[in-house]
Homo-oligomer: A and B are copies of this chain.
Amino acid sequence: MKIIIGSDKDGLELKEYVKDCLEKSGYEIVDKTPKGADDFVDSAKSVAQAVVEQEGANGILVDEYGVGSFMVANKIKGAICAVVSEEHSAKMTKDHNNATILALGSGIVGKKLAKEIVDNFVGSEYSGGRHQVRVDMLNKML
């Protein structure tokens, strides 16, 4: 699976850590912001657009609180982004919401927790079924 990542300057360190972990797990990483974008609007937009354009790709966004990236990524048509600080939501949002983008706050989650969240997100799959009507609704918006 291809994982497209990006962060602003505040999220740079955690993004690098997450990137390392994912590379060690064998994922193909596309880093949209190797030096950190000027702000989370830029990083979130570019990652969300790239994820929407590439069938099967996932995205990971980091800024200081995560919530800014969440706000922005969901403004891109077809993007479903979850900001998460525990593992259960990371799994469930893949399974139920077909979320393809995960946002993390570097000032909110520590590295051990961030790694588990990311592993749960990239390791889970959308289960379809009844959930598809809701995903179709989200995808019509904007």
Copy total for this chain: 2
A111 to B111, CA, bound (A): 11
A20 to B112, CA, bound (A): 23
What residues of B have a CB within 8 angstroms of the CB of A7 in the complex? none
Question: Which chain B residue lies CB-closest to A115?
Answer: B107
Q: Closest CB of chain B to A82's CB: distance in Å?
A: 18
Residue total for A at the interface (Cβ-Cβ under 8 A): 11
Tell me whether A64 is interfacial, beta carbon within 8 Å.
yes
Tell me whether A110 is interfacial, beta carbon within 8 Å.
yes
Tell me whether A105 is interfacial, beta carbon within 8 Å.
yes
Which of A65, A105, A110, A112: most chain B Cβ within 10 A?
A: A110
Query: Contact check: which of B64, B65, B108 meets A109 at CB < 8 Å?
Result: B108
10 A-B contacts (beta carbon < 8 Å): A64-B112, A105-B110, A105-B112, A106-B110, A107-B110, A107-B112, A108-B110, A109-B109, A109-B110, A110-B110
